């Protein structure tokens, strides 16, 4: 039953992760500055890496919520069978631990700070400008 209390934590963490990895605006072509090779590599990593990280985070979060739901409802025994086969052993009810609460709190706080920064009246101060 303790695992069922993890569901709001898992979903709030996934939502805030989505917010934290989503840029608020994309600069127009006339706002961009020519980049060095290192900056181009880093930009490509952000452009392609963040969406992949968001998808993986959501897949893991939904899988964990499905496993928790399958433990509480016997009608979802197919999910339990798949998870047991993938893990190689039965799935145990895991308690809510301090590291879990700390990690979720930090993820939610980071997402909220990022959301607040880009929607504040001073949002222009948070743009990254290359020094010339």
Residue 102 above 90 pLDDT? yes
Range in 44-48, 52-56, 87-91 the model is least confident about: 87-91
- Confidence tier at 99 by pLDDT (50, 70, 90): very high
Kindly state the percentage of the chain with pLDDT values over 70: 64
pLDDT digits (tens, 9 = 90+) for 118-127: 777 665 554 5
The pLDDT score that the predictor gives to residue 118 is: 72
Whether pTM exceeds 0.85: no
The pLDDT score that the predictor gives to residue 56 is: 92
Show the 3-state SS of the chain: CHHHHHHHHHHHHHHHHHHHCCCCCCCCCCCCCCCCHHHHHHHHHHHHHHHHHHHHHHHHHHHHHHHHHHHHCHHHHHHHHHHHHHHCCCCCCCCCCHHHHHHHHHHHHHHHHHHHHHHCCCHHHHCCCCCC
70 or 104, greater pLDDT: 104
Mean pLDDT for the stretch of residues 72-81: 64
Residue 1 above 60 pLDDT? no
């Amino acid at each position: 039953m303790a695992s069922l209390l993890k569901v709001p934590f898992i979903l709030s963490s996934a939502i805030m992760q989505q917010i934290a990895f989503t840029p608020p605006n994309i600069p127009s072509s006339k706002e961009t500055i020519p980049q060095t090779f290192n900056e181009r590599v880093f930009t490509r990593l952000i452009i392609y890496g963040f969406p992949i990280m968001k998808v993986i985070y959501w897949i893991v979060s939904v899988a964990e919520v499905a496993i928790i739901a399958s433990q509480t409802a016997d009608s979802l025994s197919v999910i339990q069978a798949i998870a047991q086969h993938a893990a190689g052993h039965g799935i145990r009810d895991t308690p809510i631990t301090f590291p879990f609460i700390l990690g979720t709190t930090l993820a939610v706080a980071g997402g909220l700070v990022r959301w607040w920064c880009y929607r504040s009246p001073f949002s222009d101060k948070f743009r990254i400008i290359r020094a010339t």
